[in-house]
Amino acid sequence: MCIRVRLQMVKPDACITGNSEPTMEINVMKPIKYIAQALCFGLVVAVAACSNQPPKNTPKAKMPPKETATPSTPAPVTEAKPPEVKPTTAPVPPPTPAPAAQAPRDFKFSGDNSAIGFVGYNLIGGREGGFSNFEGKVTVTDGKLDTTVIDLTIDMPSVFSDSGILTPKLKGDKGFFEVDKFPKATFKSTKAVKDEKDSSTYMITGNLNLHGVEKAIAFPAKIELKDKELTAKAEFSVNRHEWQIEYAGEGDYAVKDDVLIRLDVKATLDTKAAPDSKAAPESKAAPETKPTANQ
């Protein structure tokens, strides 16, 4: 390889005037020749050192499958929850036991301490009468008078009046009580309702069986309950024809239809104790058996 370089020195004024005639020539061929030879030698060495395979003992690189970049999955966002607050419940006190219901209490009355009377009217005036022999009881539960139940039995032959002539007629004449045929009269209440305007008054409803006829009636009564006593007062009228009491009378003594009934009850608490149950006979121990010689 040969390189020839020619250098031409131009004077400054020649550049200005356009005169390009060389005025000096320097021969630099020899130094360049040596440089070119050195370059050629180095190139040959470099080319000779390049081979088609790497030198022995060089580790071979592994080729794993091509990795595909996977998009990063964002971490799940956990919503902040308020701290769980457990309700604090105060201990529930045990329920207050309801007061024990009282057993029904019976208050008894009779002709000895109470009165059942009536007043019959004619054109002249009225005649009073009543019954001297009767028995009854008033049952009250839990001290509540609206639970009142009245049970009454009247001995009809005990009827009397303020007239010695009238009393036998009341007992035996047809159209009056006919006590031999109908010796008993009864009344059994079915309901007691407190009056809205008077707390001591109750409307008593029940069935009156008189002269062989039973009819439902209702009447107001003032009732008062004390610890061991019950009192009741009532005054009301009934139409005697409802029970087939048809006596008419004559003239001034003609009997009117309506009869006034008066009740004055003083009942006392029945304190009779239930009979004590007899104690069971004491069991006797079996006699001790002594072991025999054979045992």
Rounded CA gap, 274 and 284, in Å?
A: 29
Residue bearing tokens 């304190």 = 271
Report pLDDT for 49. Answer: 45
Rounded CA gap, 287 and 294, in Å?
A: 20
Strand pairing category for 159-161 and 184-194: unpaired
What architecture is the 105-269 domain classified under in CATH? Beta Barrel (2.40)
Helix, strand, coil share (%) of the chain residues, nearest 5: 15, 35, 50
Half-sphere exposure of 258 (CA within 13 A, CB side): 4
Partners of 9 in the beta sheet?
Answer: 24
What does the block give as tokens for 40? 């050629």
- What is the CB neighbour count within 10 angstroms for residue 234? 17
SS3 of 80, please? Answer: coil
pTM: 0.60
**H or E, element range at 32:** helix 29-49
Rounded CA gap, 161 and 170, in Å?
A: 8
Ordered by start, the domain boundaries in the chain are 6-49, 105-269
Residue bearing tokens 């009536």 = 118
SS3 of 183, please? Answer: coil
For 295, which DSSP code?
-
Tens digit of pLDDT at every position of the chain (295 positions): 444 545 444 444 444 444 444 444 445 555 556 665 655 454 444 444 444 444 454 433 433 454 444 454 555 555 555 556 565 566 767 777 766 667 899 999 999 999 999 999 999 999 999 999 999 999 999 999 999 999 999 999 999 999 999 999 999 999 999 999 999 999 999 999 999 999 999 999 999 999 999 999 999 999 999 989 999 999 999 999 999 999 999 999 999 999 999 999 999 999 883 344 344 444 455 555 555 555 4
Partners of 259 in the beta sheet?
Answer: 238
- Burial class from Cβ neighbours inside 10 Å (0-12, 13-18, 19+) for residue 231 reads middle
Rounded CA gap, 214 and 262, in Å?
A: 19
